[in-house]
A and B are shown apart, each in its own frame.
Chain A
Amino acid sequence: MLRQYFNKGTVHVDNTAEGIRQGVLHMKQLYSSFEAGIKELQTDQQREWQEKVNTLTALVEEHLAHR
């Protein structure tokens, strides 16, 4: 689930010191690409949030219309 959600700008590592160490070094090496990725993920999230809010708004309006 986490891998699916954090699909950009993220290094997924094993929960070991070596895994974390390798992940940090990998991120340091390709930092610009990860930085761009996380910004993209942020934009995707914002878009998803807007869609959810629209859905919520429609639900509430529908309820109010049928009162």
Chain B
Amino acid sequence: MQQNRNPITSSIPKCLFLVWGTPDQGPRSRVMADKLGIEAHFVYTSLPRGALYVPVKYSVQAVRTMFLLFRERPQVVWVQNPPLLAGLCVCFYCSLTGAGYVVDAHSEALLSRGWTAPPAWIKSFLAQRAMTTIVTNERLKQMVSELGGRALIIRDVPTTFKVHTNYPVSDKFQRGADQHICCRRAADQVLKAADDLAGIQFYITGKLGRKAFWPSHKERRPTFILPTFCLTKLLWFAECSPGRHVPDDSRSHDAARCMRGALAGQTDHHIRLAHASPIL
């Protein structure tokens, strides 16, 4: 196990950051682990998504997690929630060894219908035994308090990203819009606004939407030119299949670095802040 390399956390001898999922499924936890100097462990299976596979997947992940924890013997475990079961495995390990754990609760863990289905007493059990639960806003902090736990708000994890590709920058005013965080209507409005902004070059990053995502601009969908789409003043690039996040957001970050501004939806603000581009 990697020792902490961040001087801030150098006083904590053995830590481990546990995420149930692939690295692209826990970008916030991944960044947080990196900033804290803690090695992140991603426990996942190759089974497909779907409720049918959940019992098998979770069983396999639970067994792997216990092996991992007892092999590494961390004194403090950071665990991403969801899923709740990952936290329960960590809680079990901690109760046997005297280690402590911190829950990194993503908003959906406390808000999404699917993840909030487990009974409240299980959530309380986990929250009350955690050293703290990291949340992103006051409302979520209140929810954790109601469960009897204590919470710490970390709204965003400031970070910098390596740049892999330079996107063409002209003397035009560069704007970027991260379409994967926009709803269909918002994306449509961005495209309409772009129509009226001659001399401003737009980049749209993020995953390529489904066909239905672009109803009124279907006729303008450009020819695919690897790795970018190019059409007059709009430059696009597609990163992966619809419905999936990009394993590595490097292209978004590269584009953000080139831009003079960013157009953001409601989340993913770290991309823009990391590159210090004004936000619209």
Contact = CB atoms under 8 A, between A and B. Distances in A.
A41 to B, nearest CB: 7
A20 B190 contact: yes
A17 B189 contact: yes
A41 B273 contact: yes
B100 A18 contact: no
Interface residues on A, range: 35 or more
Given A6-B279, A24-B173, 10 more contacts: A5-B155, A9-B276, A9-B278, A21-B193, A24-B193, A38-B276, A38-B279, A48-B155, A57-B11, A59-B132
A32 to B, nearest CB: 10
13 contacts: A5-B155, A15-B189, A21-B196, A24-B261, A50-B8, A52-B152, A56-B9, A56-B36, A57-B8, A60-B76, A60-B100, A64-B100, A67-B98
Q: Is the interface of A mostly helix, strand, loop or mixed?
A: helix
Interface in B138-165: 152-158
Contacts of B277: 38
Contacts of B137: 1
On chain B, which size bracket covers the interface?
A: 35 or more
Nearest to A26: B280
A56 B131 CA distance: 9
B266 A2 contact: yes
Interface in A1-31: 1-2, 5-6, 9-11, 13, 15-21, 23-25, 27-28, 31
A64 B75 CA distance: 8
A31 B278 contact: yes
B186 interface: yes
B280 A20 contact: yes
B12 A60 contact: yes
A11 B36 contact: no
A20 B39 CA distance: 41
Contact of B263 (A5, A20, A49): A20
Nearest to A2: B266
Interface in B231-276: 260-261, 263, 266, 269, 272-274, 276
B200 interface: yes
Contact of A49 (B75, B157, B173): B157
Contact of B154 (A34, A37, A52): A52
